[in-house]
Amino acid sequence: MTSALLSSTINGTGSETDAFVPNSDLLAVDVIEVAMTAEPSFGRWLQRRRKALDLTQEALARRVACAAETLRKIEADVRHPSR
82 falls within a domain: no
- Number of domains the chain is built from: 2
Residue 61 lies in a domain: yes
Domain that holds residue 47: 42-75
Query: In a structure prediction context, what are the per-residue pLDDT tens digits for the chain, which is 83 residues long?
Result: 444 444 444 545 554 444 455 555 655 555 555 555 567 899 999 999 999 999 999 999 999 999 999 999 999 999 988 87
Our CA dihedral for 47, 48, 52, 58, rounded to 10 degrees, sits at: 10
24 falls within a domain? yes
- pTM score: 0.53
| Beta carbons within 8 Å of 18's beta carbon, 6+ residues apart | 8, 11
The answer to whether residue 80 sits within a structural domain is no
21 within domain boundaries: yes
Do 11 and 33 reside in the same domain of the chain?
yes
d(CA 25, CA 35): 16
In a domain, 83, yes or no: no
